[in-house]
Amino acid sequence: MDVHTLLHEPRFWYTVAFFLFFIIFGGRLWRPLAALLDNRAVQVRLALDEAARLRREAEAMLAQAKQEREATLAEAKLVIENAKAEAGRIAEAAQQDAEAVAARRERMAQDRIHAAERAAIAEVRTVAADVATEAARAVVAEAMTAEADAALIDRAIAGLPASFATRVAA
128 has a pLDDT exceeding 70: yes
> Residue 48 has what pLDDT?
95
Does the pTM surpass 0.85? The reply is: no
> Residue 124 has what pLDDT?
85
> C-alpha angle 83/84/88, rounded to 5°?
115
Q: Per-residue pLDDT tens for 136-159? A: 777 676 666 677 667 777 888 887
In order of 9, 12, 44, 69, 140, the CA distances from 61 in angstroms are 70, 66, 25, 12, 115
Domain tally, the chain: 1
> Residue 68 has what pLDDT?
94
CA 61 to chain centre: 32
Q: Per-residue pLDDT tens for 22-80? A: 888 877 877 888 888 999 999 999 999 999 999 999 999 999 999 999 999 999 999 99
> With contact defined as beta carbons under 8 Å apart, do 142 and 148 qualify?
yes
State the residue range of the domain holding 12: 3-169
Q: Please report which helix (H) or strand (E) contains residue 142, including its range.
A: none
Q: Per-residue pLDDT tens for 73-123? A: 999 999 999 999 999 999 999 999 999 999 999 999 999 999 888 888 888
Enter the DSSP assignment of 2.
-
